[in-house]
Structure 1
C-alpha cells in the first residue's frame, strides 16, 4: 500500500519536471533546441503581397506630377470658354493622326510682293468733274451763278488761261487744281527740240504779283507731287500775272531744283520766261527766249532753239552740220 502510493507520487513528480523543462527552456540552449521543444507550428498561407519597392529620390516630384495630371479634368466642348481681352487666339486645326510616322511639311518662307504703283500716281485726273476747259468753266460759272470777283472764279479762270497760253509753246497740260491740291495747279509735258522725249512739267499759278516766298512754296509742292513728277526729268514752273522782281529771279537761280518763272497776264499774254541752271541740265540747253511784237504794239515772248523760232505750229528746225 505504501509502495503503491510512493510510485504514484514519483510519477507525478516526473510529469511536473517534464512540463517545467518544456515550458521554460533556458536561454543558453541553441536556436534549434528551442524550436524542437516548442509547440508544433501552424502551417502559414502563401504571402500574396508584392515585394517592397525601392524608394527613389524623385518620389516626391513624381507624386506631385501624378497628382497634377489626375486633377486635370477634360473640358467639355459644349461649355463656353471664358472671354479674353484683346486679340482672340488663332485656332489651328491639328490632324487626328499623331503617330510618329507622320512628318511635318517644311515651312514656306513668306515673300513680300513688290508694291505696284498706285493708279493715281500714273494717271492725271481733272480737278473738276464739271469743266475741263476755259469755255466749259465759263458756262458752268453762269449756271452756278459764280461771282467773277470771287477767289475761286479768278483762280480757276487764270489756271485755264495759263494752260491755253502755253499750248502755243508745245505744252500739253491738264488742270488738276482742287481744294487739297498741295499747291499744284497744272500737270503735263513740254516738247522741246533738244530732247526726243517730252519733259514733265509741274506748274503753280498765282493770279497776282510774285514773291520770293512763292518759290519756296513751289519747292515744297514738288515733294508732294505724283511719283513720276518728282526727281530728274521734271521742271517746276511758277506762273504769275506780274513780271518777276530781282528777288524772285534770284530765288529761282538759287533753287537746286529745275525751276522756271513765267509771267502770263490774265488775258493770256506771255511776257517773261526765265529758268535756272538746273533746268538747263534737265534739257533746256540751246533753248532761248525772244520777243515778238504784235500789230497792236504789244510784245509777246516766244521760244527759240539754236537761234531759230520754235513753236508748236512750226516744224522743228533741222540741225545744220
Structure 2
C-alpha cells in the first residue's frame, strides 16, 4: 500500500508522461509542502505558427500551471476556486498561461460550471485509475478555447476511439482540420 505522498507523486509522473505523449506538454514537478498550490509547471507546445506541422520547432508555447489530485472522491468547485486564486499572481506574466487541473476522479457538475465561468484559461483533465494509459476526459472553458480565448478557437481536442477493447481511446489536438502530432523539445533527436 502506497502512502498518500507516494501515490500523489506517482500520479503526477503518470500525468506528465500522458501529457507529453498525447498533448504536446512538457511539464516538471514542483510539488511539496511549499509548492504554492502548483504541482506541475512547464509549457504547452501549440502548432499555431506557419510550418509548425512540418517544422515542430516553430511551435508557440503557452505556460502551464497544473494541480494534481489523486483522490477517490469527486472534485468539487472548491478546488477550482483555489486554483483560480493561485493563478491570479501569474496572470500578468510575460507568457500566456493556462490553468490545468488533473484528477484521478470525476469532476462534479458544480466544478465544471465553476471552471466554465472562470475568466482564467482553464483545462480540466480526468485520468481514471482503472485505465492507467488513457485519458478519461478533458474539458476546456471559453477563456481557453473560444474565439476570443487564448487558443482563439484554432485548437480543438478530438477524441480518437481505440479498436482495442481494453483501451478507451485518447484525445488528440487538431488545428485547422489537421491532426497535430504530439511534440515537445524533449523529443528532438539530436545528431550523434
Q: Is the 8 A contact 2:63 2:95 kept in 1?
A: no
CA RMSD of aligned residues (A): 2.2
Larger Rg: 1
| Distance in structure 1 (CA, Å) of the matches to 2:106 and 2:85 | 22
Specify the alignment match of 1:254 in structure 2: 117
For residues 231 and 220 of structure 1, the distance between their equivalents in structure 2, rounded to whole angstroms, comes to 19
Of residues 215, 221, 242, the one that matches 2:105 is: 242
Mapped to 2, the partners of 1:158 and 1:219 lie a distance apart of 22
CA displacement, residues 213-256 of structure 1 (integer Å, 9 cap, x when unaligned): 1100101221455x98x486100111101233322211111111
User: For 2:116, what is the secondary structure of its paired residue?
Assistant: helix
Deviation at 1:308, TM superposition (A): 2.5
> 1:296 maps to what in 2?
165
**TM-score, normalising length from structure 1?**
0.47
Deviation at 1:283, TM superposition (A): 2.4
Verify: 1:154 aligned to 2:7, yes or no: yes
Native 8 Å contact 1:182 1:224 kept in 2: no
Pick one of 174, 179, 188 that aligns with 2:28: 174
Which of the residues 153, 177, 180 maps onto 1:285?
A: 153
Higher helix share: 1
Check the 8 A contact 1:261/1:275 in 2, yes or no. yes
* Structure 2: gaps of 5 or more residues: 50-58, 184-192
Q: Is the 8 A contact 1:194 1:284 kept in 2?
A: no
User: Which structure: greater strand fraction?
Assistant: 2
* SS across alignment from 1:205: strand
Aligned residues: 164
The C-alpha deviation readout for 1:103-143, integer Å capped at 9, x for no partner, is: xxxxxxxxxxxxxxxxxxxxxxxxxxxxxxxxxxxxxxxxx
Give how far 1:154 is off.
Answer: 0.8
> Residue 201 and residue 167 in structure 1: after superposition, are their counterparts in 2 closer, same or farther (change >3 A)?
same
How far does residue 198 in structure 1 lie from its aligned partner after superposition? 0.4
Structure-2 separation of matches of 1:216 and 1:170: 26
State the Cα deviation string for residues 266-293 of structure 1 (Å, max 9, x = none): 4142121111121132125221122222
| Runs (5+) with no aligned partner, structure 1 | 1-147, 314-321
TM-score (norm 2): 0.76
